[in-house]
Amino acid sequence: MIPQARTRPPAVHPGTTVPGDGRPALPGVPSGVLGTIGGTPLVELRKVLAHLPIRVFAKLERFNPGGSIKDRTAFTMLTAGLRTGELVPGRSVVVESSSGNLGVGLAQMCAYYGLRFICVVDARTTEQNIAVLRAYGAEVEVVTAADAPDGEYLQARLRRVRDLVRRVPHAYWPNQYANPLNPAAHEQTMGEIADALDGRVDYLFAATSTGGTLRGCSAYIRAHGLPTTVVAVDAEGSAIFGPPAGGRLLPGHGASMRPPLLEQNPAHHVLRVSDLEAVAACRRLAAAEGLLAGGSSGAVLAAVARHADRIPPGAHCALVFPDGGDRYLDTVFSDRWVAEHFGDVSHLWKDAAVPGTDETTGARPR
């Protein structure tokens, strides 16, 4: 069995007061739900890529209390504001743009700390994510007009955020796209992976969006002198590392602009994965490993198979799976949605052996 990470962030950053509770924490018992952020399991995937002579480990961020890796980002950014006094429970209003996961993480934290939260989403945000946000008490603003000519919503969402920050008294914008505390949160993510594998991480595959995970993990790797090759996994329809090659269907993977956090690319390699490759890999993960993973997790798995001919035998490959598939039941795991966008492609996961090979996604074989 792989030893699990032994580190876990505190429920409350030192110097931050938990509203209405001055009692000391009991040893081994988290102080509230925020005490369960981090320390997510790292599991070995033994079946879905069993034909490859490498070992593949997945960091399952769905086990954070808000269901995704963005809980780490939300925790780090908001506790910093609480610690400095920029955020005051009962007065401050958090305003942020999100395609889903960060919004959920922030909504959970704001509910816990007694902060009002306005989340700016767009027309591609799922009804399920909007329902979760509202269940936590968040106010949801939906941007319905996309930017021409690319049809993307990010710049429109950011304009709405800036407008709200100007108009709403005591507004506080964490700005996940430029806040250095975003990548800082993921230095611990990488630390947990390295700890679990006793420092032997030959390859790290991480999906890109704001750049927080990629930059934070890379910073840890450099600081600790790990000989890890970092592979950034972007969407084909993303503009982070160059002009997009088509549209983008899956929220939270890729972006319509290069975020400030990725002005300097920390990755050794960049792989761009299509939506269909990501969907097929998610379906194969569910069938082979009994693991329901989100769209960007499928993209990361497909990238490993695509890159396999460059990975030496016996290498340890760590994959960051940002969230679970329960928020993709109406898209990735919906036969109707898949057929509408890709046609009849069920053979990619029902008949083929592995995602990422020529029989499944069309990528070149080893």
**Does 271 share its domain with 344?**
yes
At 43, phi and psi to the nearest 5? -120, 150
* Whether the predicted pLDDT of 188 surpasses 50: yes
122, 138, 172 - which closes a domain: 172
Tokens of 238: 């993303």
Q: What is the mean pLDDT of residues 187-205?
A: 98
Q: Are residues 259 and 332 in the same domain?
A: yes
Average pLDDT over residues 267-288: 96
One domain, residues 316 and 225: yes
For the chain, what percent of residues have pLDDT higher than 90?
Answer: 75
161 pLDDT higher than 70: yes
> Is the pLDDT confidence value at 357 over 60?
no
Domain membership flag for residue 266: yes
Residue 9 lies in a domain: no
Q: 8 pLDDT exceeds 80?
A: no
* Mean pLDDT calculated for residue range 243-265: 87
Residue 13: inside a domain: no
Say yes or no: 105 and 165 in one domain. Answer: yes
With respect to residue 364, please indicate whether it lies within any of the assigned structural domains: no
pLDDT above 60 for 259: yes
- 291 has pLDDT over 60: yes
Q: Which of 172, 198, 217 is the last residue of a domain?
A: 172
Q: Is 356 a member of any domain?
A: no
Domain count of the fold of the chain = 2
CA distance 101 to 220: 23
Distance CA 258, CA 156 (A): 15
Whether 93 maps to a domain, the answer reads: yes
Same domain, 41 and 89: no
Separation CA 175–CA 161 (nearest Å): 9
Same-domain pairing of 150 and 225: no
Q: Which of 172, 205, 228 is the last residue of a domain?
A: 172
Q: Is 49 helix (H, G, I), strand (E, B) or coil?
A: coil
Beta bridge partners of 44: 57
In the numeric block, the tokens 């032997």 are attached to: 200
Average of per-residue pLDDT values in the chain: 89
Q: Tell me: the pLDDT tens digits for 67-98?
A: 999 999 999 999 999 999 999 999 999 999 99
Measure the CA–CA gap between 108 and 138, rounded to whole angstroms.
Answer: 9
- Asked whether residue 137 falls in the same domain as residue 223, the answer is no
Examine the domain organization and report whether 203 and 263 are in the same domain.
yes
> What pLDDT was estimated at residue 355?
43
* Closest alpha carbon to 72 in 192, 157, 188: 188
pLDDT attached to residue 21: 59
Q: Residue 325 phi/psi, 5° resolution?
A: -85, -5
Per-residue pLDDT, 351: 65
Q: Is 233 in contact with 208 (CB distance < 8 Å)?
A: yes
Q: What is the CATH number of the domain that holds 148?
A: 3.40.50.1100
Instruction: State residue 124's pLDDT score.
Output: 82
Same domain, 253 and 132: no
The size of the chain, in residues, is 366
Of 213, 251, 34, the residue nearest 128 (C-alpha): 251
* Nearest-angstrom CA–CA distance, 348 and 215: 33
- What residues make up the domain containing 76? 70-172
Residue 120 pLDDT greater than 50, yes or no: yes
Q: How far is CA 54 from the centre of its chain?
A: 24
- Higher-pLDDT residue of 354, 261: 261
Burial label, 149 (beta-carbon count in 10 A; 0-12, 13-18, 19+): exposed
359 part of a folded domain: no
Does residue 275 contact residue 250 with C-beta atoms inside 8 Å?
Answer: yes
The reply to whether 92 and 164 lie within a common domain is yes
Closest Cα to residue 105, out of 142, 63, 73, 62? 73
Residue 14 counted as domain residue: no
Predicted local distance difference test score (pLDDT) of residue 16 = 39
The tokens for 173 are 């914008």
Residues 239, 346, single domain; the answer is yes
Please give the structure tokens belonging to residue 63. Answer: 């086990």
Average of pLDDT values for 229-234? 97
Tell me the average pLDDT across 5-20: 41
Same domain, 194 and 286: yes
**Which pLDDT score, from 0 to 100, does residue 136 have?**
97
φ, ψ at 318 (rounded to 5°): -100, 130
Say which residue the tokens 């960007």 belong to: 296
